Amino acid sequence: MAQYLDMVGRIHTEQAGSPNVVVPLVQMNALMGFVADALTATIFGLGLPRDVEQTTLRAFQKLLWIQNDLINRHYARA
Q: For 16-69, how does the pLDDT look when each residue is reduced to its tens digit (9 = 90+)?
A: 767 777 888 899 999 999 999 999 999 999 999 999 999 999 999 999 999 999
Q: How far apart are CA 34 and CA 40, in angstroms?
A: 10
Count of domains observed in the chain: 1
Q: How many CB atoms lie within 10 A of CB 77?
A: 9
| Residue ranges of E strands in 1-78 | none
| Among the listed residues 68, 72, 74, the one whose alpha carbon sits nearest the alpha carbon of residue 35 | 68
What was the pLDDT predicted at 74?
84
Q: What is the pTM of this model?
A: 0.80
Q: Note down the domain range covering 71.
A: 2-77
| Among the listed residues 77, 72, 73, the one whose alpha carbon sits nearest the alpha carbon of residue 29 | 72
Q: Is the pLDDT of residue 78 over 60?
A: no
2 — pLDDT class (breaks 50, 70, 90): confident
What was the pLDDT predicted at 66?
93
